[in-house]
Each structure stands twice: as structure tokens, then as C-alpha cells.
Structure 1
Amino acid sequence: MLSTMQDVPLTVGRILAHGSTIHGRSTVTTWDGQKAVPRSFAEVGARAAQLAHALRDELGVTGDQRVATLMWNNTEHQEAYLAIPSMGAVLHTLNLRLPPQQLAFIINHAADHTILVNSSLLPLLAPLLPQLRPTLRHIVLVGDAGDAAAAQLDGFAGTVHHYEELIADRPTSFPFPMDLDERSAAALCYTSGTTGDPKGVAYSHRSMYLHCMQVVSAESFAFTDADLILPVVPMFHVNAWGIPYAAFMVGASLLMPDRYLQPQPLATMITAERPTFSAAVPTIWTGLLGELDANPGRYDVSTLRRVVIGGSACPPSLMKAFEERHGITLIHAWGMTETSPLGSVSLPPGGLSAEEAWPYRLTQGRFPASVQVRVIGPDGTPMPHDGSSAGEIEVRGPWIAAAYYGGAGNPPELGEKFSPDGWLRTGDVGTVSEDGYLTLTDRSKDVIKSGGEWISSVELENELMAHPDVLEAAVVAVPDERWGERPLATVVLRPGAQAGFAELRAFLAGRIAHWQLPERWSVVESVPKTSVGKFDKKVIRREYAEGALDVTVLGKDTTA
């Protein structure tokens, strides 16, 4: 028996139509370094229509061509987010922090037809032009671009346009097709490619719409039209965790930071514009906390009630510091490019005291009804959801990837990331409790296998960063003749800090099992990071193997 319900496609175009009319008075505001420049949702919708006309009528985007963006978080990027998928093309966000060879690879692999680029990012794009395929026909400069900027594209065989000139005087309404196949691709995002070439994940209209509904739900981010959201997480990274679309769905206003992501501009922006919600990786909030603590009374961040942390585990010490000193609640969330990215959010069950809720807040959160999870042990068998049995986390659901994009004209790529029975192997190691809360202990490639036992590098890092003299800490496995592997702790000390390795080891001794204590220590100026702000542990392992780190072993100075 079939249902009697209408089969209405779930598309980005419906989000655009709803947000620009029902919530037309909400705003997208871009920070220009000194002040905020607002534009209403109604205006953004009208300009998205003008962009769609320009792409179709002048640039020849008439089907599912890939239209790429190499842009900061700003209002024009939001317009592209809405216009490109809604007209039936595919939005391809380019990660501006990727190495040049990887950036060229993904432009060619996606066969991008057009690239919208902020003028300030031309130095990243221009040197790549000789490597790019002739499928790239148009480059659109967004923002102030003088003759000197445009001259960087002199060798481009296609056509160069200026965004405002391109959309000027075009109609402010567009016949966005509302009968698009909801399973067709709406957006394309590539993994950061920490090993090998980046992999493309093609999100469908359906997956993005359903993901938005989860983002705005009470058990996730709970956006309303009373919120002003500051998405520090880049729009080039997994669609800024779905925030630009989710905000348009419910009328939550957006405060776009553009390129001003450093602690001082962020603190100034928050003080001036008074957002209620934000999201970013932990390193952003570590820097912001340092700025706030170094300048007491200078900033007012009291309106910022909730901050979602993703990308890597947030140190508990950072969570407590923000809550106790600034009244801001930091919330764990977990996901990855392949999960759109929202997988779980660490909101505790209702009715608990602060003390009772704290253990839940330290987890990566509870899975929603739409995301199934299983824990696979080292022998390949499923483990119970008992909060203690650890294994690799596998997930499936309507916004979880089933394969990687194979490139224009090629079939999807499966590979070892996807199980034969349709689950995504995340590469994360952890446990799941009976009531669905995920606790990650490590990445499968980062867990330290010492004498037949596992040591969590994440736990060691969190405990080290609880020391008042430690700004950042990254722990990796290094070879050991006796135990196979042992932890190497690299630490970044706060300015003026004097803590020695013996003190740090003693500090850890009261918090973890004695056999897990690192023997090898190194002070570094900064922890290397990936293009999306995660600790890049493969660089630390390589530097150790090459003898590039000054390492202290059991109190003796040596070089590894």
C-alpha cells in the first residue's frame, strides 16, 4: 500500500524562496574590518536571482555544470550558495587553505566551468591557471578589484568578469525550477586530502534539506529568527556545517566575518554586533580566549550564549574557562565531510544538574534519529553500545555519503572507506553509550598501540591543555623498541610560561594511568595544522623521524 502524501522535492530552491520572502527582514551582514555592512534576506534573494540570470544568460551555465567559489565568508558567498544549486547547477566550494597542487587537482577533477573568487584571493588562483583544464571558461572577481588585481589573470584563456557589473540591471526574480530531482547534486566539497588526493563528496538537494532540518532542531543548534549567527567555520569547509542554509530556512540572521578571523578582530566584531551563536574549530576559541583574558574590560561578549565546537575534540579546560569567565557555553559536535557534516551534538539529557550534565558535555554528543551508528571492534565484529566497548565508528543515514565523486563522466568511487553493506567507515575510534552518546578516544591512525594496549592521544592532549602554562598540545605515536609505540608529547607554552617537562609529567601523573605517561617531550612554537584547523599529526611524526624536533627523553636532552 502506498501513501496518499504529495511527493514534493526537497530542494535548496525551496529554502531560498522561503527565506527571502517569509524571513525577508532578516539580514546577512559582512564585517569589513571596521564595521558591519548589512543586506536583508529579501535583498540577498533578489541578488541571487540576478546572479542566476548572469550565470545562465551570459556565462552559459544551463545544466549541472560546476560553479566554484574561492571566497571568504561574506554576503556574496551566501548569494552564490543560494543561486547556484537553486538553478540546477552544482556549487563547488574551493578550500583556500589547500596546497596549490591540491587546489589545482580539485578544480580539474570537478571540471569547474566558472570560478567566483574574492579579489584578495587572486594570488592563490592566478599561479594555478597554467595547470587548469580548458573546461574552466569564466572567472568572476568579487569585491574591489583594480587593474593590478585583474592583471594577475592576463594569462587566462577564458573570460574575466566583475561580480557587481555582471549582475547589475538583471531581473531580481528568476524561474528557479521547483521540480528538480531532489537526489541530484546540489554541492560538491572535497576532503582536506591529508593523505593522497582530496576526495569529492557530492551532496544532494535532499540530503542538504534534511540536514538543515536537523541543524535547526532543538536537539542540535536550535536556531530561531531571534538569533544572530557568527559562522567562523569557513564556507569552503562542508558548507560551513550547513549554517548558511539552516539560517535561511528559519530566518536566523548571519554575521559574516570575511577574512577577519584573528582573535582581536573577532573580539571586536562580537562586541560591536552582539551575535548569539557561533561555530568554529577549537583553535579559534583558544585564540579568542587569550585575547579576552589579556584585555579584561575591553570587550563585551555577553550576548554570545552558545558556541559549537567541531573539527577536533575541545579541551575540557577551554570549555570551563569560557563558561566560568565569560558565561559562554561551548558545545561539542562531531562530523566529517562525508557526513554533511553533522553527526552528533553534545546536549545533555534534560533535568540534570550542571554537575550531572558535565560528563555528557565532554562526549561528542548524541546521534539523532536519522543517523545510525555502530561500533566495530578490531576483529571486525560489532561491539555493544555500553559506553566502554571501543572500536571504529561507522555510520549511515540520509545525509551520509555512500561513495566519493569519481570526476566528470566517471562512476562514483567506493574504496575502503565504505563497507560492503553500506556503512561509512569514519576512521574515528570510540564508544557509544546505551542512550546514544558518542565518546571518541582517537582517530584510528592516531591511536597509540603500546605493549598491546591502546593509549588515547586525545585524552593526553586534553589533560595537558588543562595545565595553566600549556596553550596547545599534540601527542603522537613514535616507534619504541620495547613497547612497539610510545607517546611523544609536543607542547606550546603560553608566553612567559616556565613549566618544565618534569612538572608537566607530574601534572599528568595524577590524571591518567602511570603506564600511559609520555617519556618523550618537545616544546614547539606552534602545532602544525591542516587546512581546516585540525592538528596535523603526520607532520609531527615526520619531523620526529627526520630528527627535526628537539626531544627530551626521561629528563635527558637529545634529538630524536
Structure 2
Amino acid sequence: MLPLTLHHLLWRMLTVHPTSEVVTVTGPANDLRSTRCTYEQLAWRMEALAHGLRDEIELGPDDTVTVLDWNDQQHLELLLAVPLTGAKVNSINLRLGGETLSHLARNPRPKAVVVSSDLFDHPAVGSAIQALVEEMRSTGVITVAITPPGGRPTAPDTISYESLIQANLGRRWEEVLEDENAPAFIFHTSGTTGLPKSYEVTHRAAVLHCLSQATVEATGLSSRDRVLPLAPFFHVNGWGLPLTAALTGASLVLSGGDLNPARIAKVMQQENVTVAAAVPTVWFDVCAAIERGEATRPSALREVLTGGSPLPESVWKSIRSTLGAGVATAWGMTETMACSTYERERPHERAGKPIPLVELDLQETVASTAGLDTPPGRLRVRGPFVIGNTTEPGAWFTTGDIATIDEDGSLTLRDRENDLIKSGGEWIAPAEIEQHLCTHPDVVAAAVIPVSHPKWIERPRAFVVLHREPEFGELIEEALTAHLAHAFPRWWLPDQIVIVDELPITAVGKLDKRSLRKIAESQKEKV
């Protein structure tokens, strides 16, 4: 029996979908440049890279390769070539702070670090990446540099990434990894509630996740699609889309780390993208850029995939009207390998139905939230690629979410259990308030957090981003409070609604409520 390993994805790229392509787009919005590689060529390069890594640095089972790169062809090649050798890929979030970046990159201790030399000149992360690579080199970690034509020259003791491939082109990788439970990747959580947690992902889990994501209930991708994954590869392999594309034959368009909204829109138009994936804030910015005339509406786009944070109703409507595309929102966690449910009918309200092989369950009941006939419960999930569950087979993983499940099996997230506000002994669900605020036509995004109160212990405070600047004398806070009063009891209403230009987000685009709480506490004396 053939084990479930990632080698099968290379086989499909080489023999089933050889003419599909990977397009890497570089340059600013006014000077986009594309390089192309067919799946057949890509599979040959991956096998050559696997040979080079094994022969040149003796990479093998139990080894780790740390990767410092944006979404590009080389990063994709590493996602499949490294596991062929029995080693695992540890892609690191480039936007993290120095100590966290260093900790994740060095644990477990890597055999090699692969770094794009372009990162050294990056205005935001360049100095941190440079210091990290020097630190790793000083401790004996082998450095492999991805250097584009005309790029920064590498240090004398650095191995050229491209030389590993060119020296081995034409050599087939005939070996079959016998253990499908061997680790292939290390995934890290986004660290929204503390230091990031890390999990190993096996070949078997990765392949089963691909098969599930390829179904019509999930991404529904096919070889006719051209996919732009804007979720970074260093976060759950870009929501699993690169590997799902390899399985289904969907072509990939990779645009690096520049998320300039006009640039994204122009990439979608130039490369005839049919499906694109990003967090809601990215889609708000892209729609706004098109509405301002900075780019044209992408003509081939059929669907936008979004997740990572709730989808405001205003953003959902903008995607449909401005981009002319359908919207699918997905819910998932690093511990479930992302995108465990999909919703297309009401993506601004529900998280949707579980994808094949994922099972959901509600454990116990918690205090009922406003307007709900059935008390919600604590969400649990299980499946063959739920990596957060390290106990006995078949055990449930508790997500920390408060949720309800409809009669048709659709999931609705009510809140994170740790985010619930207990005011005067009564529970308040911030996510419910946030969602209703976003139904107001002037609201782009909203966040509700608890602030300490001398009498009620905790009270809700809302931070709101508007579509427009309030007019002089306009009582927008009062209008938003009245909007909420139609849906919630009086004691649920925020004591204060603060209008802000933007909400703080984490390095992977999620709302950063920890930072918001710090801001609120620092303002407490001023309010």
C-alpha cells in the first residue's frame, strides 16, 4: 500500500497537470513583472532541490529547514522538496518582533536556514532578518541564499539556492518515504493570546487536508482556476492553498509580500486570477482602491476566500459590488490546519459547514446571548488533521470558541470564551456587538473589549472605524448606540464608542485585542 506522502503532489504536477503554471509577480503596481514556470518544470526543480539538499548539506529525517521568505516560487519549491528528504519545513512569520522571531526560527535547531537576500534590504524587517541570519550562522547553521538576478551578493560561506537545483536538474527522486506519519511542517499560531504555539504536521495530515480542501464544499478549485493566495505561506502554508492547487492543478499566482491594494487589483487583472484569498481588511482596501480609480475591476475573478477574522457586512457587500465576485468565508485555527468550515450564503453572519473529515460538537452550554433561542456551547472539533489534539485517537480538541450549530449543520461563532465580558454578574458577548455594529452603513470595522469598572467590574467599550469622516457636529456615537439598542438589552450597550482611524492587527492580519486592551487601559484616566 502506498503511504500518504507529499510526493504524490509532485507526481500529479508532473503527470496530470504539467501545463498548469506558477507565476511570480514582482515590482510595484506601475511596473509589474512576471516570471512563469509550468508545473512540470516546477516538479523537476523540486526533485533537483531535494537531491541538492541531501547531497550538499546531508539533509535527512529529523532535520529542520527554517525558511525566511515571502510568497514566491522558491518558497513553494521548499514546501515540497524539503519533506521529500524526510526533513521538515519551518516557515517563519517575517513580521514578528526580534525575540519571538529568533525563538521560532531556532527551535527546533535547524540544519539550514534558507533566506531570500531581498529581505535584507526590506525597510520594515530587513535589520531583524539580517541579525537573525548572522546569529544562526555563528552557531553553525548552514545558510542557503535565494538571490535574484542582480540581487545582493551572498557571504562567502553561503550556499546558492539556485546552484543546488541547477547541479541536479534531470535527476528523478525515486525514493518513497515509508512513514506517512513523519513530520513535514512546523506550524505556529499567530500568538494573539500569548507567545505562539508550535505544532508538527505529518505528511498524512497534510495530504488529507489537501483532499478535503479540494472538495466543492471547501475551495472547489480545479485546473481551470488561477489562484492568488495572499495569506502568507508562513501562516499554515497560506491556508493550505498552495498544496491544494498542486493537487487540483489550479495555477498559482504569487505576489510576494507587497499588499498594496492597487497592486493586488492589478495583479488579479493582469494574471486573470479567478480565486483570491486574504483577510477581510485586505479586501476592504482593495475595494477602496478600485472605487478611487487606482485600479480596474479584475475581470476574471469569480470568488474571494476570506477568513482570519469576522467579515463585516459592509466589506461583503463591497466585494460583491466592486469586485463582482462571490464570497466564501472560512473558519479555522492553526490547530485545525485552517479553513475547517466554509460559508457562501451568509458569510457575514455564519462560519458555515465543516469540510469533509472534520467533525464539530458543542460541549455543555454557556450563558445565553441576546436574542438566541438556544444557549450556545463550547465548540469542539476533531478530524485526522486536527493537530491541536495530541492525546488519544478520536479525542476532541476544544477551540475556546462559544458557538451555535444550526439544524442544517452550519456553525455560527458567538465569541471567544476568553473574550466574554462579565458585567455585574451577567455575560456579554463582544462579537455579537461587533457584528451588529458592522451592519451600520457607516461602519467598516468594529472591536469591543472589556474595561474595568468600579461597580460592574467590567463594562464594554467599542472601537469603530468609519467609511467616512463624521461631519461637524454629527452625533455618530449616539447614532451607533441607537443602532445597537434595537438589537440588545440596555446593559449590553457599550459605555463608550470610540471612533478610530484603524484597528490594531497582528502580523497575520487578525484583530489584536491585546493591544486594544492596553490602549483602553492607558486612556482610562482620560475618559
Decide: shared fold, TM above 0.5.
yes
Is the contact between residue 414 and residue 432 of structure 2 (CA under 8 Å) also seen in structure 1?
A: yes
What SS is found at the alignment partner of 1:388? coil
What SS is found at the alignment partner of 1:322? helix
Q: Does residue 91 of structure 1 match 2:89?
A: yes
Task: Determine the C-alpha separation between the residues in 1 that align with 2:137 and 2:521.
Answer: 38
Task: Determine the C-alpha separation between the residues in 2 that align with 1:388 and 1:256.
Answer: 44
Give the AA of the match of 1:450. Answer: S
Q: Does residue 506 of structure 1 match 2:476?
A: no
What is the Cα deviation at residue 490 of structure 1? 1.1
2:459 to 486, 489, 497: 486
Q: Does residue 559 of structure 1 match 2:526?
A: yes
Q: Does residue 321 of structure 1 match 2:308?
A: no
Give the AA of the match of 2:49. Answer: L
Q: Does residue 539 of structure 1 match 2:526?
A: no
What is the Cα deviation at residue 130 of structure 1? 6.2
Is the contact between residue 387 and residue 434 of structure 1 (CA under 8 Å) also seen in structure 2?
A: no
Equivalent position of 2:123 in the other structure = none
Task: Determine the C-alpha separation between the residues in 2 that align with 1:321 and 1:126.
Answer: 40
Q: Closer, same or farther in 2 for the Cα pair 1:362/1:419, shift >3 Å? A: farther
Q: Does residue 24 of structure 1 match 2:21?
A: no
What is the Cα deviation at residue 111 of structure 1? 1.1
Is the contact between residue 52 and residue 174 of structure 1 (CA under 8 Å) also seen in structure 2?
A: no
For residues 487-515 of structure 1, what are the alpha-carbon distances to aligned partners after superposition, in whole Å with 9 as ceiling and x for unaligned? 11112334534353222222333344433
1:523 to 487, 499, 503: 499
Equivalent position of 1:70 in the other structure = 68
Equivalent position of 1:226 in the other structure = 224
Equivalent position of 2:264 in the other structure = 266
Q: Closer, same or farther in 2 for the Cα pair 1:516/1:387, shift >3 Å? A: closer
Equivalent position of 1:341 in the other structure = 338
What SS is found at the alignment partner of 1:518? coil
What SS is found at the alignment partner of 1:479? strand
Task: Determine the C-alpha separation between the residues in 1 that align with 2:483 and 2:322.
Answer: 23
Task: Determine the C-alpha separation between the residues in 2 that align with 1:31 and 1:221.
Answer: 23
Q: Closer, same or farther in 2 for the Cα pair 1:275/1:82, shift >3 Å? A: same
Q: Does residue 444 of structure 1 match 2:417?
A: yes
What is the Cα deviation at residue 520 of structure 1? 1.4
Task: Determine the C-alpha separation between the residues in 1 that align with 2:25 and 2:314.
Answer: 30
What is the Cα deviation at residue 172 of structure 1? 2.8
**5+ residue gaps, structure 2:** 121-125
Is the contact between residue 84 and residue 90 of structure 1 (CA under 8 Å) also seen in structure 2?
A: yes
What is the Cα deviation at residue 361 of structure 1? 6.4
Is the contact between residue 301 and residue 326 of structure 1 (CA under 8 Å) also seen in structure 2?
A: yes
Give the AA of the match of 1:333. Answer: A
Identity %, equivalent residues: 34
Q: Does residue 431 of structure 1 match 2:397?
A: no
What SS is found at the alignment partner of 1:192? coil
What is the Cα deviation at residue 31 of structure 1? 0.8
Q: Residues 463-474 of structure 1: matches in 2 within 5 Å?
A: 463-474=436-447
Give the AA of the match of 2:480. Answer: L
Equivalent position of 1:282 in the other structure = 280
What SS is found at the alignment partner of 1:104? helix
Equivalent position of 1:12 in the other structure = 6
User: What is the aligned-residue RMSD (CA, Å)?
Assistant: 2.5
Q: What's the TM-score, normalizing by structure 1? A: 0.85
Task: Determine the C-alpha separation between the residues in 2 that align with 1:211 and 1:105.
Answer: 28
Task: Determine the C-alpha separation between the residues in 2 that align with 1:204 and 1:423.
Answer: 19
For residues 525-553 of structure 1, what are the alpha-carbon distances to aligned partners after superposition, in whole Å with 9 as ceiling and x for unaligned? 32111111111001111122223x7xxxx
Aligned residues: 510
2:160 to 159, 162, 186: 162
Task: Determine the C-alpha separation between the residues in 1 that align with 2:312 and 2:453.
Answer: 28
1:366 to 346, 353, 364: 353
What is the Cα deviation at residue 136 of structure 1? 5.3
Equivalent position of 2:130 in the other structure = 126
Q: Residues 104-183 of structure 1: matches in 2 within 5 Å?
A: 104-122=102-120, 123=126, 124-129=128-133, 132=136, 137-144=141-148, 150=154, 159-183=157-181
Is the contact between residue 290 and residue 297 of structure 2 (CA under 8 Å) also seen in structure 1?
A: no
What SS is found at the alignment partner of 2:107? helix
Task: Determine the C-alpha separation between the residues in 1 that align with 2:326 and 2:373.
Answer: 24
What SS is found at the alignment partner of 2:434? helix
Q: Closer, same or farther in 2 for the Cα pair 1:55/1:523, shift >3 Å? A: same
Task: Determine the C-alpha separation between the residues in 2 that align with 1:270 and 1:304.
Answer: 7
Is the contact between residue 429 and residue 443 of structure 1 (CA under 8 Å) also seen in structure 2?
A: yes
Task: Determine the C-alpha separation between the residues in 2 that align with 1:136 and 1:187.
Answer: 22
Task: Determine the C-alpha separation between the residues in 2 that align with 1:468 and 1:497.
Answer: 13
Is the contact between residue 118 and residue 152 of structure 2 (CA under 8 Å) also seen in structure 1?
A: no
Q: What's the TM-score, normalizing by structure 2? A: 0.90
What SS is found at the alignment partner of 2:419? coil
What is the Cα deviation at residue 369 of structure 1? 4.2
- Deviates further, 35-44 or 463-472: 463-472
